Amino acid sequence: MSDASSKGGAAQPTEGQPGTARFWPLALASIGVVFGDIGTSPLYAFKESIHHINAEREGALLRDDVLGVISLMLWSLIIIVTLKYVLLLLRLDNRGEGGTLSLTALLQKTIGRRTPLLFVVALVAAGMFFGDALLTPAMSVLSAVEGLTVIPELQGRVEGFIVPGALGLLIGLFLIQKKGTSVVGKLFGPVCLVWFITLGALGVWHIAQDGMAILAAISPHYAVTFLMTHSVLGFVVLGSVFLCVTGAEALYADMGHFGRKPIAAMWTWLVLPSLALNYLGQGAMVIAHPETTANPFFMMAPDVLQIPLVILATLATVVASQAVITGAYSLTQQAVQLGLLPRLRIVNTSASEHGQIYMPQINYMLLAGVVILVLTFRSSSALASAYGVSVIGTMITSSILIFLAARRVWNKSIWFSALIVAPFLIVESVFLASNMLKLPSGGYVPLLIAAVLMIVMWTWVRGTKILLARTRKDISVIDVFKGLEISPPHTVKGTAVFLTADPDAAPTALLHNLKHNKVLHEHNVVLNVRFAPVPYVPDDKKIEVTEIFPNLDRLTMKFGYMETPNVSRGLTLAKKCGLSFDIMHTSFFLSRRTLLADGKWGMPLWQDHLFIFLSRNATNATEFFRIPTSRVVEMGTQLTI
pLDDT at position 621 is 86
Distance between CA 129 and CA 227 in Å, rounded? 29
Question: Domain 28-461 classified CATH 1.20.1740.10?
Answer: yes
Cα separation values, 640 from 37, 198, 343, 509, 602, Å: 46, 62, 21, 18, 12
Q: Contact 519/490 with Cβ under 8 angstroms?
A: yes
Query: Dihedral of the CA atoms 313, 314, 319, 325 (nearest 10)?
Result: 130
β-bridge partners, 595: 639
Query: Dihedral of the CA atoms 308, 310, 313, 314 (nearest 10)?
Result: -110
Expressed in angstroms, the distance from the first to the final Cα of the chain is 43
pLDDT at position 1 is 32
pLDDT at position 184 is 59
Which residues of 512-631 form beta strands (DSSP E)? 519-532, 543-549, 552-560, 586-596
pLDDT at position 351 is 57
Collapsing DSSP to helix, strand or coil, 501 comes out as: coil
Q: Are strands 519-532 and 490-499 parallel, antiparallel or unpaired?
A: parallel
- Give me the phi and psi of 238, to 5 degrees please: -55, -35
pLDDT at position 16 is 43
Amino acid at 408: R
Distance between CA 16 and CA 14 in Å, rounded? 6
Q: Contact 316/43 with Cβ under 8 angstroms?
A: no
Distance of CA 186 to the CA centre of its chain: 21
Q: Contact 254/33 with Cβ under 8 angstroms?
A: yes
Taking the chain (641 residues) in runs of 10, the rounded mean pLDDT of each run is 32 43 79 88 92 73 90 96 94 86 88 86 86 87 87 77 92 84 67 94 92 91 92 88 90 84 93 96 92 90 89 89 84 87 82 69 92 90 82 89 92 93 93 87 86 92 84 71 78 88 80 82 89 86 86 88 86 84 84 77 84 89 87 78 73
User: Which helix (H) or strand (E) covers residue 23, if one does?
Assistant: helix 20-33
Q: Contact 397/125 with Cβ under 8 angstroms?
A: yes
Domain ranges of the chain: 28-461, 472-640
Q: Name the DSSP class of 152.
A: G
Q: Name 365's Cβ contacts closer than 8 Å, sequence gap at least 6.
A: none
Q: Name the DSSP class of 476.
A: B
Collapsing DSSP to helix, strand or coil, 525 comes out as: strand
Distance of CA 281 to the CA centre of its chain: 32
Please give the angle made by the CA atoms of 184, 185 and 188, to the nearest 5 degrees: 95
Distance between CA 47 and CA 42 in Å, rounded? 8
Please give the angle made by the CA atoms of 40, 23 and 195, to the nearest 5 degrees: 20
The pTM for the full model equals 0.84
Collapsing DSSP to helix, strand or coil, 300 comes out as: coil
- Residue 102 C-beta-side C-alpha neighbours within 13 Å: 27
Amino acid at 497: V
pLDDT at position 382 is 86
Determine how many CB atoms are found less than 10 A away from the CB of residue 326: 23
